[in-house]
A and B are shown apart, each in its own frame.
Chain A
Amino acid sequence: MAGTWIFVEQRNGNIRKVTFEMLSEAQKWGDEVSAVVFGKGVAGLAPELAKYGAAKVYVADADVFAQYNTGAFVAQLAAMIAEYKPNAVLFAHTFNGRDLAARISQKLELGLATDCIAAEISAGKGVFTRSIYAGKALAKVEVAGDPVMATIRAGVFEVVEKAGAGEVVNVAVAATAADVYQNVKEFIPTVSARPELTEADVVCSGGRGCKGPEGIALVEQLADLMGGAVGGSRAAIDSGWLGHEYQVGQTGKVVNPTLYVAAGISGAIQHLAGMSSSKYIVAINTDEEAPIFGVSDVGAVGDLFKVIPALIDELKK
């Protein structure tokens, strides 16, 4: 048996932090933890994965894996699971991770727990906690299967360094160009010097109270001062002040930063769904009764156009 596998999320050789989070957490279950990486020219990633405890790094290196595509990735992973028989395979709950996980689970007729915020695996069984009804309830899900399958939400596990052997296992490539049935005509990267919303340690978001691009610019200045990401409520996105990819909430992204700053956001239940699990929450709102204050550690009743500039000055001191 090949222990617990962590499927590595990477693009152009940059490993996403959630991969290290999963590697770190999986050490707690006692089974051997290994990383699985598909790509083109990715063998060099092994030392970075070993730093977080990967005993082995299974590498499938081929042109067909240069970018994510469902057909080739599913074919490859299915062949590897059949050959090495891992006890569990964990994926990040990203667009690619959840696509691959659901597809392979169905192919192998397995159960799958998605978007998990807590996990424990032992004796061929996984018990996972999922946040349901947009965070208004929690469900503990038991997944028995061979292997146990789950996708994990970014930002919920701590990254802990622990040296692993990082032995590279070059696996036979089982996928060919014939397995690719999606034609990706164009990839348009989000160009931003700021960290990815779902991975950022600090997220500053603006809402309708920002009243326009000028208000959002203040939120951006504040975020930059802390090396944070910028997000918005649906009202800010619908008004066109921020791109769709910046929406935080039930229909947007779920964020889990150390610090979340909500400026001019009322705190509708659908917004809270995307940010209420942040470790610390600061809200700035003119309305003393705004529901956002119900989840805030510090709720400043005031005008963001006055408070944020003063806060920027204060932080710079």
Chain B
Amino acid sequence: MKVLVLVKQTFDTEAKIELKDGKISDAGINMIINPYDEVAVEEGIRLKEKGIATEVVVVSAGADKAIEAIRTALAMGADRGVLVQQDVAADEFARAKALAKVISEQAPSLVLAGHVAADDGSSQVPTRIAEILGWPHINVATTLEIADGKATCNCEADGGSQVIEVALPAVISTQVSLNEPRYPSMKGIMQAKKKPVDTVAAEAVESKTKIVEFSLPAAKAAGKKVTGEPADLAKEIANFIKNEAKIEIKK
């Protein structure tokens, strides 16, 4: 079975965000694989190690430098990559269209993705891809089992969690608790350099949405810092909770 993993290259989660000419500046930003996608890559590699997957293909849409994210995934143990050259400003609709086209061509039995991108965090792309392909999708998966042409996952749900089973081919979006991604080994990094990465141009699809303004949130002014005996601190906080925040106390 062929497994395809979607990886988005994102800013390091520690990155400080600055605006330049009204846009988010990527100057000096350390780029990483979206943390959820790293979990998806790890899961794909584990499926191969278990003998369930025969090949793990990593696909990323974005600027040329997104190839670094693909190389990292290859160093972890994925087999080959496809870079879909696309304007990073493409919206979820255009990205889903471009990625779904590559997925159709690659014809995997399973697509693994993150459940949200840590940058623009829209939680749309895998769901849209599943709709385009007419496949089932399990979202926010915390476990994954593949057997008898089916995928079964525990996943987060509103008001609890649930166990869902779907027939393959399917899209599964991961939560970080699914696994602990490995670090690429030195040998893995050397091997990754020789693994094939194809580059394709994205299908020309117009975005349906447009970002008209970026801004930085007003910095929350730090309030009062209080020190002293626990009893004094307690008085200060209690006064704030009752009189400022006006929270009702259940005695």
A47 to B240, CA, bound (A): 38
Contact (Cβ within 8 A) A314 B122: no
Chain A residues within an 8 Å CB radius of B248: 226-227
Contact (Cβ within 8 A) A114 B176: no
Q: Which 3 pairs between the two chains have the least Cβ-Cβ distance?
A: A111-B208, A310-B234, A102-B127
Closest to B161 in A: A188
* A residues whose Cβ falls under 8 Å from a Cβ of B: 9, 11, 16, 68, 70, 74, 93-96, 98-99, 102-103, 105-107, 109-115, 127, 130-145, 181-190, 196, 201-202, 224-227, 244-245, 250-251, 258-259, 269-270, 276, 279-282, 284, 288, 293-303, 306-307, 310-311, 313-317
Chain B residues within an 8 Å CB radius of A102: 92, 123-124, 127-128, 131
Chain A residues within an 8 Å CB radius of B241: 226, 259, 282, 315
Chain B residues within an 8 Å CB radius of A93: 123
A182 to B136, CA, bound (A): 7
Contact (Cβ within 8 A) A143 B208: yes
Chain A residues within an 8 Å CB radius of B249: 225-226, 315-316
B152 at the interface (CB under 8 A from A): yes
Contact (Cβ within 8 A) B159 A140: no
19 A-B contacts (beta carbon < 8 Å) = A102-B124, A105-B93, A112-B209, A132-B24, A133-B119, A136-B17, A142-B211, A181-B167, A186-B162, A187-B161, A188-B162, A190-B160, A276-B220, A280-B240, A281-B223, A297-B240, A301-B225, A301-B227, A307-B230
Secondary structure at chain A's binding surface: helix, strand, loop or mixed?
mixed
A68 to B67, CA, bound (A): 38
Name the contact of B93 in the complex, choosing from A106, A136, A245 (C-beta under 8 A). Answer: A106
Chain B residues within an 8 Å CB radius of A98: 123-124, 127
B58 at the interface (CB under 8 A from A): no
Binary A-proximity of B125-168 (CB < 8 A = 1, otherwise 0): 00110111000111110100000000010001111111111110
Contact (Cβ within 8 A) A9 B226: no
How many Å from the CB of A166 to the closest CB on chain B? 24
A208 to B234, CA, bound (A): 21
Closest to A196 in B: B159
Contact (Cβ within 8 A) A202 B247: yes
Name the contact of A297 in the complex, choosing from B217, B227, B244 (C-beta under 8 A). Answer: B244
Contact (Cβ within 8 A) A114 B124: yes
B121 at the interface (CB under 8 A from A): yes
